[in-house]
Structure 1
Amino acid sequence: MSGTDRKNIRPGLNVAVVQKQHQRSGQLSEGTVKDILTNSSFHPHGIKVRLDSGIVGRVKHIIED
């Protein structure tokens, strides 16, 4: 599932995000959503979130259990 729609993202969801400094390489970090930082309902590069670990990035993939 894509991370570009805010309606798909909720706290407690496991996701893969790309951090600002890793956008060129595309390196992903995985974790659990703590806060949703994007206010708009859609963002073409992914909804920005804060993970439980403190990492801030844009959601690239939602990890299905």
Structure 2
Amino acid sequence: MRMMDGTRRKDIKPGLTVEIVLKADQRTGKQTRGVVKDILTSSPNHPHGIKVRLENGQVGRVKVIHT
């Protein structure tokens, strides 16, 4: 199982399991695991991570992609 960071949009697809940092957790860097529902960032990459919505409705920036 190799892990990728979440800075490139093309690496992220709905249905993938990822670790995101929620806006409220940006100071602590606490990560939340979930399954991608929607990709919210339109640019091909983002230095802080691509913003996604998880299936449970939480929104944050991808830090780790589980493949």
TM-score normalised to the size of structure 2?
0.93
4+ residue runs of structure 1 moved beyond 6 angstroms?
A: none
Taking only the aligned residue pairs, the percentage that are identical comes to 61
Counting matched residue pairs gives 64
Structure 2 unaligned blocks of 5 or more: none
Q: Which has the higher strand share?
A: 2
Structure 1 unaligned blocks of 5 or more: none
Aligned to 1:62: 65
Aligned CA RMSD, in angstroms, stands at: 0.5
TM-score normalised to the size of structure 1?
0.96
2:30 equivalent to 1:27: yes
CA distance in 1, matches of 2:34, 2:24: 17
